[in-house]
A and B are shown apart, each in its own frame.
Chain A
Amino acid sequence: MTEDNQRRVVSVIVVNEASVLSRITDLFSGRGYNITSLTVAPIPESKYSRLTIVTAGSVRVIEQITKQLHKLIPVLRVYEHEDMVEKEMAMIKLPISENLSDINALCEAYNGKIVNAGENTIIAMVTDEPKRIDNFLNAIKRYNPKEIVRSGAVALER
């Protein structure tokens, strides 16, 4: 087994009930696994929620994570993604004085646009693969962003 620290995306379907999220995050902290990002929302018309967890670890650690997750009573299913479509969203607040058409062009390259304009600031939004969001956030730096928020990744197996 390799001991490399590879990035992994795991989706977890859980019963929508009190403290289920703590069970999951406690498991990660208690066993020393790390969470890069975590998103959670109810699955429409069901009693379940879906979590997407981005984590990192060796093959053995990832295997343990999925098994330990599965052991939790309210967990219905755990997917360790192999071949997935993965997306993340980011919003950026920028001064309105910056070059808005340049910003808009940049956003468009990352499936985004300017979504709000206020008196002093605008908010732009992009949706793309997490790796490309990194690139975008690097590129946007020159326009003096005031605030950045990332949603964390969501994924679906192909």
Chain B
Amino acid sequence: MQISGAQMVIEAFIAEGVDTVFGYPGGAIMNVYDEIYKQDKFQHILNRHEQASVHAAEGYSKASGKVGVAMITSGPGFTNAVTGLADAYMDSIPLVVISGQVPMFLIGTDAFQEIDAVGISRSCTKHNYLVTDIKDLPRILKEAFYIARSGRPGPVHIDIPKDITAEIGEFDYDIELDLETYKPHTKGNPRQIKKAIEAIAKAKRPLFYLGGGIINANAAYLVRELVQKTGIPAVETFMARGVLSFDDELLIGMLGMHGSYASNMAMSETDLVIGLGVRFDDRVTGKLSEFAKNADVIHVDIDPASISKLVNADYPIVGDVKNVVSDMLEQVEKIDSNNYESWRETIINFNELHPLTFHEDSERIKPQWVVKRVGELLGDDANISTDVGQHQMWAGQFYPFTRPRQFVSSSGLGTMGFGFPAAIGVKAASPEKISINFTGDGSILMNVQELMTAVEKKIPVINIILNNNFLGMVRQWQTLFYDKRHSETDLSVQPDFVKLAEAFGGIGYRVKTKEEFDAALKDAVEKNIVAFIEVIVHRMENVMPMVPSGGSLFNMMLLEKKGDK
């Protein structure tokens, strides 16, 4: 059929089953917005900043497993969105982000709101396109969705000049994609899998190292089965929270810089690491030369470049985790879970020695308590997003996650301002769940304008602001490593968060006691409108345990025993 470039974008969205688009209009993308106005197949959510549009699309994608879609204009619209692209790239989140560009005849002339968008997005997208011919547009749209979601997922950016969205061309979306140069390897090599199974059967102290790739591959429930049938203990990365349920006896906890003592010790003592959908990030491994020093490594990942990048894999398996794990399950009877009995006991002992916990304080609420309490009150009924900082780590440590896609957080890039818009996207994707954003007094101000989006679209995100009057995580490092010189991290001067929420038409609470907190949360859930619950928490609390940057996992700073201040 003969339609305009702008209509092609709409038709492609419909064909791809897109039900929500996040975005912000402007000159170069107006032709497409005109078509959005005319259609009723999907909703458009107008964020109040393009960065928020991309984060919302990320949240949407993480919660739903679908490709997130965002739409922005050229120039400043695009540059505002770059942080979101980079964030999605680091965390392998499938997105299609469409930007308007100045008309073709103006490209290269420093035209109004012209910027070399594909030049900028090249290094923070899985792939990108500048459309220069209407004939290419249907194929590019289709490729973009395919590339975003296949292989190791990631954001794909399409930059479309304004004259191309106006031009009429032939649209046929039933084309076969011919991507000769892009063929993700999804099936694991059977010989390697067999060898890996044999290695597991022979190991004395094997350990599952579970990563976010499992969630991307929709493999969490198969992994649960594998863990259960083998009786092998497991640690999760921050990205993998919810792969195993918090009450799974074989789940030791989170590992890494703020992982539990038992998790990090298990990694230090294991003789066989079974890495599934992981990438040996420096926040996970600590000092590389000391990481899992006594272990052989099985590494399963869809991205060949992740394998042996940092830690040499003795059993490299390139493939989709879901396929590989189901192949492993077919041979699982070769593994005798009784072999690991004493290993499991060792780990229980680690846990008893230094359990993951915190000390209550009689005067002020401890931030960790808030996370635990939300877990007790809402548990499985809530999806959890976070911003970046101490509160983020506490959410990862203390929330009782029960399922994959329950937890959304900016892990690889660590983007303050991610949480609130992401929680909006999460709520748009799964309205039946309560959408909680754990945030800080610093982070929340980085996308606070999203109050307007949430009010307008009636998206009742509950933002729990753990207010420590500090850029807490930076303050913690200053306390520990910069001799308490708290340079530019004191946030004593603050807005009235209650009034701030109210000014946009949301609801605000300021709580200082546990009772007040329970009441506020209950009320916010019932009111069902966007809320700020500001909790005044202990100012100087540190996230513990901690592996100082570049240190070894077994050399942790631990929570001081009660009384020895």
A binding-site residues for B, Cβ under 8 Å: 1, 14-15, 18-19, 22-23, 26, 30, 60, 63-64, 67-68, 70-71, 73-76
Interchain CB contact under 8 A, A15 and B118: no
Contact of A67 among B179, B180, B181, B305 (CB under 8 A): B305
Asked if A64 and B309 sit within 8 Å, CB to CB, the answer is yes
10 pairs across A/B with beta carbons < 8 Å?
A: A1-B312, A14-B181, A18-B130, A30-B123, A68-B305, A71-B305, A73-B126, A73-B127, A73-B181, A76-B181
Q: Flag if B182 contacts A73 (CB, 8 Å).
A: yes
In the assembled complex, the CB of B449 is this many whole angstroms from the nearest CB of chain A, namely: 32
**Contact residues in B for A63 (Cβ distance below 8 Å):** 308
Bound CA span A70–B185, Å: 12
B132 within 8 A of A: yes
Establish whether residues A73 and B132, one from each chain, have CB atoms under 8 Å apart when the complex forms: no
- Taking CB atoms, residues of chain A closer than 8 Å to B305 are 64, 67-68, 70-71
Residues of chain B with a CB closer than 8 A to A64's CB: 305, 309
- A26 pairs with B181, CB closer than 8 A: no
Decide: B312 and A22 in contact? CB cutoff 8 A: no
Asked if residues A26 and B130 are in contact (CB atoms below 8 Å), the reply is no
Q: A1-B312, A18-B132, A60-B308 are in contact. Are A75 and B118 (CB under 8 A)?
A: no
| A71 in contact with B122 given A60-B308, A64-B309, A76-B180 (CB within 8 Å) | no
Near A by CB (< 8 A), chain B positions 326-350 give: none
Q: Tell me which residues across on chain A come within 8 A of B132, comparing CB atoms.
A: 18
Per-residue CB contact flags for chain B residues 111-135 toward chain A (1 = under 8 Å, else 0) read 0000000110011001100101000
> For residues 130 through 155 of chain B, which have their beta carbon under 8 Å from a beta carbon of chain A?
130, 132, 147
Q: Is B304 an interface residue (CB 8 A)?
A: yes
How far is the CB of B181 from the nearest CB of chain A, in Å?
4
- Whether A19 contacts B303 in the complex (CB less than 8 A), given A60-B308, A63-B308, comes out as no
Task: Tell me the complex Cα distance, A131–B308, Å.
Answer: 32
- Whether the Cβ atoms of A73 and B122 lie closer than 8 Å is no
Contact check: which of B122, B182, B303 meets A23 at CB < 8 Å?
B122
Q: Which residues of B contact A (CB under 8 A)?
A: 118-119, 122-123, 126-127, 130, 132, 147, 179-182, 303-305, 308-309, 312
User: Is the Cβ of A19 less than 8 Å from the Cβ of B181?
Assistant: no
Residue of A nearest to B307 (CB): A67
In the docked arrangement, what's the CA distance between A14 and B181, Å? 8
Contact of B119 among A14, A22, A73, A76 (CB under 8 A): A22
The complex places the Cα of A67 from the Cα of B304 at a distance, in Å, of 7
Given contacts A68-B305, A71-B303, A76-B180, is CB(A19)–CB(B122) below 8 Å?
yes
Query: Which chain B residues border A19 with CB–CB below 8 Å?
Result: 118-119, 122, 130
Inside 8 A of A15's CB, which chain B residues have their CB?
181
Residue of B nearest to A65 (CB): B305
For residue A64, which residue of chain B has the nearest CB? B309
| CA A60 to CA B313, docked complex, whole Å | 12
User: A67: nearest residue on chain B (CB-CB)?
Assistant: B305
CB nearest neighbor in B for A31: B123
Residues of A near B308 (CB, < 8 A) are 60, 63
Shortest Cβ distance from B179 into A: residue: A73
Collect the chain B residues with CB atoms within 8 Å of residue A30's CB: 123
Closest residue of chain A to B310 (Cβ to Cβ) is: A60
Given contacts A70-B304, A73-B181, A73-B182, contact A22 B122 (CB under 8 A): yes
Nearest residue (CB) in A for B151 is A71
Cα(A74)–Cα(B304), bound, Å = 17
Residues on A with beta carbons closer than 8 Å to the beta carbon of B182: 73
Contact call B123/A74, Cβ cutoff below 8 A: no
Among B147, B303, B304, point to the contact of A73 (Cβ < 8 A). B147
Task: A23-B122, A64-B305, A67-B305 are known; give 14 further A-B pairs, CB within 8 A.
Answer: A1-B312, A15-B181, A22-B119, A26-B122, A30-B123, A60-B308, A68-B305, A70-B304, A71-B303, A71-B304, A71-B305, A73-B127, A73-B179, A74-B181
Per the bound structure, the CA–CA distance linking A73 and B13 in Å amounts to 22
9 shortest interchain CB distances as A-B pairs: A67-B305, A76-B181, A73-B127, A73-B182, A30-B123, A67-B304, A68-B305, A71-B305, A26-B122
The CA of A73 and the CA of B127, in the complex, are separated in Å by: 7
Q: Which residues of B contact A73 (CB under 8 A)?
A: 126-127, 147, 179, 181-182
Residues of B within 8 A of A22 (CB): 119, 122
Q: Considering the chains assembled together, what is the distance between the CA atoms of A137 and B273 in angstroms?
A: 53
Q: In the assembly, what is the distance between CA of A67 and CA of B307, in Å?
A: 10
